Amino acid sequence: MRNEILKILRDKAPEPVSGEELARTLGITRTAIWKHIQVLKEEGYGIEAFTKKGYVLTSVPDKLLPPEIGEKLHTRFLGRHICYEESVVSSNEVLKKLAEQGAADGTVCVAEEQTGGKGRLRRGWFSPKGKGLWFSVLLKPSFLPQEAPKMTLLAAVAVVQAIREVCGVEAQIKWPNDVLLEGKKLVGILTEMSAEFGHINYLVCGTGINVCVPKEMVPEDLRASAISIADVTGGKVDRVALLARVLDYMELYYQEACQNGFGAVFDQWRKYSITLGKQVKVIAPDKTYVGTAVDIDSMGALQVRKEDGTVETVLAGDVSIRPVRGKGKYA
Ligand code: ADP
């Protein structure tokens, strides 16, 4: 009901809507309308009441509230169910629990803050309150479990395109799915899977985007390597608009991948890649070598041509890719 009240106020703003009109349209009492308005105000909506005229929506809160996101979404199923939390340990964990309870395909969990955000290989992701987009999406694809790692490349492409479009900054992708801005880490992506032999039950794809984390708030050990969008734009970034655009692109590319495979997604990935064509140092558990990153193959694995001309295929996993000092440095 509150969403409907909000929709009417939004459509009419800056004109007022009387309590009587709201009550009539929605088939509830004026007192019930008044109570809903109080709750909306507590959530942070600016709603002014003018005697004889009614209510005017004057501002919306700087929060990732589902009705605000819904207003800007163009998706068919992704983000049509949103679980919003002020604070979670990890949005991936929340969404995995919801998935086990039968949450719908495309459900999103978004939080203002994560107290134990996760990165790859059990590393942490710093997610301070109100300063970023910390969210996870639930997908139930029909493709095979071995295709799942490609989703992280897909997520990187969707995030980069949305950031470029909404914020006007040139984010780039370091293989496989690190999104960098001015050579520093802007985004972390972690995909987790529940699967049986030959069948994916669900994927949870978590993304953390540093939108406006003040430098002094960033833990000391990350300060040199991390960056926020606002560090570059200087101004305010509309978190809701950015999240909606990321979800739009995620659905677009996901549907393309489900129908026609990941070819088109990988072409976009190549366009935004900062790794291809560069000299890289591959640090694998069993060996370390230097070569040129020439392409990604149909699995999203990186192909590195070594100095002797042979090509090694590098799978994402416990492998670090470093730019080689002096030659082809990142950004
Ligand atoms: P990796 O970069 O090792 O593949 P992830 O993409 O999962 O792993 O990111 C986790 C790493 O990112 C952490 O080990 C930490 O160094 C760094 N990190 C954590 N939080 C942030 C943040 N908000 N911004 C930038 N880097 C971060």
Confidence of residue 327 (pLDDT cuts 50, 70, 90): very low
Q: Render 75-100 in DSSP notation, one character per residue.
A: -SSTTSSEEEEEEES-HHHHHHHHHH
Tokens standing for 225? 């390597």
Q: What is the pLDDT of residue 235?
A: 84
Interval 126-148 mean pLDDT: 96
**Structure letter (DSSP) for residue 285:** S
Distance 124 CA to ligand 1 centre (A): 7
Mean pLDDT estimate for the chain: 93
- Amino acid at residue number 188: G
> Quick one: what percent of the chain has pLDDT higher than 90?
85
Check pLDDT > 90 for residue 270.
Answer: yes
Predicted TM-score (pTM) of the model is: 0.90
From 115, 126, 127, mutation site for ligand 1 pocket: most ligand atoms within 8 A of C-beta: 126
With a 6 A CB cut-off, is 190 part of the ligand 1 pocket? yes
Q: What is the pLDDT of residue 159?
A: 98
- Max Cα–Cα distance, the chain, nearest Å: 83
Q: What is the pLDDT of residue 328?
A: 41
Check pLDDT > 70 for residue 117.
Answer: yes
pLDDT tens track for 15-30: 999 999 999 999 999 9
CA 168 vs CA 75, 163, 171, 208, 229: distances in Å:
22, 7, 9, 19, 10
Distance 19 CA to ligand 1 centre (A): 49
Interval 244-253 mean pLDDT: 98
Distance 59 CA to ligand 1 centre (A): 34
Q: Exposed (0-12), middle (13-18) or buried (19+): which is 267, by Cβ within 10 Å?
A: exposed
* Range ranked top by mean pLDDT from 57-66, 279-288, 310-319: 57-66
Interval 70-97 mean pLDDT: 97
E strand or H helix at 137: strand 132-139
From 222, 223, 321, 322, mutation site for ligand 1 pocket: most ligand atoms within 8 A of C-beta: 222
